[in-house]
Amino acid sequence: MADEGKRPFQSQIDAANEGQLSMSFSTDVRVNAEEFVYMDRDCAAMKDRIRVYQGIAEGIADREVWGLGETPETWPLSGKVLVKRFRDKAMGDESGNSVHAILERHYQIIDGIQELHRVIAQRYLDTDSEFASRYNEIMASAPQGFQGQR
């Protein structure tokens, strides 16, 4: 999917920008402007939702009082250990296995998918007037936010 240190789908995005990305379809498959518009909109909505969840993880990590016996003068010591584990799982896990870090990886993947679809759509817009007309019409009237089932 992605080389280490590269953003997800970067090689496909680069290939699409250079006009080197190609797909083979049967004659039954048609390029659908609606799919490109909705893919962009849904990716944006998913990225927004991920940022909300990351904010929740940050709130968990930053919470000062848990009421689990985590203060230095309380006993048993397990309260401090439990609170540290919650904070680490929310945001501070050294292994990258925290909720915040995992959500960031999901965000980057969705961002790559969205960018790839934008580049492909732009190439269609530049070369297919029928596609461009339909795409612009849908973009002007499409509802915003995720429209799928919850």
> Distance (Å, rounded) from C-alpha 124 to C-alpha 132?
7
What pLDDT is recorded for position 70? 73
* Residue 87, phi then psi, degrees to nearest 5: -65, -45
Q: Two tokens at 39?
A: 């893919």
Residue 103 contacts by C-beta under 8 Å, 6 or more apart in sequence? 50, 53, 54, 57
pLDDT of the chain along its 150 residues, tens only? 444 568 889 999 989 989 888 777 777 777 789 999 999 999 999 999 999 999 999 999 999 888 887 776 766 778 888 888 899 999 977 788 899 999 999 999 999 999 999 999 999 899 889 989 999 999 888 777 666 555
Please report how many Cα atoms fall inside a 13 Å half-sphere around the Cα of residue 49, on the Cβ side: 12
Domain ranges, ordered by start, for the chain:
32-141
Work out the number of other CB atoms within 10 angstroms of the CB of residue 81: 12
What pLDDT is recorded for position 112? 96
* Residue 94, phi then psi, degrees to nearest 5: -65, -30
Give the single-character DSSP code of 92: I
